[in-house]
A and B are shown apart, each in its own frame.
Chain A
Amino acid sequence: MTVSRPAMAIYWTGSCGGCEVAFLNLDEALLGIGRDWELSFCPCLLDTKRADLEAMADGSIAVTLLNGCLRSGENLEMARLLRLKSRLLVAFGSCADGGGVPALANEASAAQLLSRICDTAADAVPGQRGDDGTFSPELPAPSPLLPRVHAVAELVDVDYVIPGCPPEPDRLLDAIRTLGMSPLPPRGTVLGCTSRSVCDDCPREKRNHRPQRLVRSCAIIPEEGWCLLEQGIACMGMATRGGCGALCPTVHAPCTGCYGTLDPDAVPVAASLSALSAAVLPDIPHPADDRTVRELYRAALSAVADPLGTLCRYDGARNLAGGTGQSGADRG
Chain B
Amino acid sequence: MTEATVPHRYHPTTGTGGSRPLRVVVFLCTWCSFSAADKAGTKRLPVPAELSVIRVACSGRVEPTLVLEAFRQGADGVMVMGCHPGDCHYQSGNLQAQCRAVLLDRLLPQLGIDAARFRFHYVASTEADRYHHLTTEFVQSLYEFDTGAS
Bound state CA distance, A326 and B64, in angstroms?
20
Can you name the residue of chain A whose Cβ is closest to the Cβ of B145?
Answer: A332
Given that A267-B64, A319-B111, A329-B112 are known contacts, is A294 also in contact with B104, CB under 8 Å in the complex? no
A49 at the binding interface (Cβ < 8 Å): no
**A304–B67 CB distance below 8 A:** no
**Chain A interface residue count, Cβ-Cβ cutoff 8 angstroms:** 43
Assess whether B41 is interfacial by the CB under 8 Å rule.
no
Tell yes or no: B71 within 8 A of A by CB.
yes
User: Is A308 located at the chain interface by the 8 A CB criterion?
Assistant: yes
Q: Is B46 an interface residue (CB 8 A)?
A: no
Is the pair B85, A287 in contact by a Cβ cutoff of 8 Å? yes
Distance between Cα atoms of A56 and B71 in the complex (Å): 44
Bound-state Cα–Cα, A311 to B65, Å: 13
State whether A107 touches B112 (Cβ < 8 A).
Answer: yes
Indicate whether A328 reaches chain B with its CB closer than 8 angstroms.
yes
Which of A149-157, A194-202, A275-283 lies at the interface with chain B? A275-283
Q: Which of B53-91 contact A (CB under 8 A)?
A: 63-65, 67-69, 71-74, 84-86
Per the 8 Å Cβ criterion, residues 104-125 of B in contact with A are 104, 106-107, 110-114, 121-122
Say which one of B1-9, B10-18, B24-32, B92-100 lies at the interface with A.
B92-100
Say which residue of B72, B102, B104 sits within 8 Å of A324 (CB atoms). B72
One of A271, A292, A301, A324 near B103 (C-beta < 8 A): A301
Minimum CB–CB distance from A261 to chain B (whole Å) comes to 10
Measured in the bound complex, the distance between the Cα atoms of B103 and A280 in whole Å is 12
Smallest beta-carbon distance A262→chain B, Å: 13
The verdict on A137 contacting chain B, using a C-beta distance below 8 Å, is: no
A57 to B102, CA, bound (A): 55
Shortest beta-carbon distance from A256 to chain B in Å:
16
Residues on the B chain within 8 Å of A319, using CB:
68, 111
**Quick one: given A107-B112, A270-B64, are A286 and B73 in contact (CB under 8 Å)?**
no
User: Which residues of chain B come closer than 8 Å to A301, judged between CB atoms?
Assistant: 99, 102-103
> For the complex, is A143 an interface residue (Cβ under 8 Å from B)?
no
Q: How many whole Å from B119's CB to the nearest CB in chain A?
A: 12
Sort A-B residue pairs by CB-CB distance and give the 5 closest, nearest first: A328-B112, A270-B64, A270-B65, A308-B110, A323-B72
- Could you give 9 example pairs across A and B, Cβ below 8 Å? A107-B111, A267-B68, A270-B65, A274-B63, A300-B99, A301-B99, A308-B110, A320-B68, A323-B72
Residues of B within 8 A of A (CB): 63-65, 67-69, 71-74, 84-86, 95-96, 98-100, 102-104, 106-107, 110-114, 121-122, 145
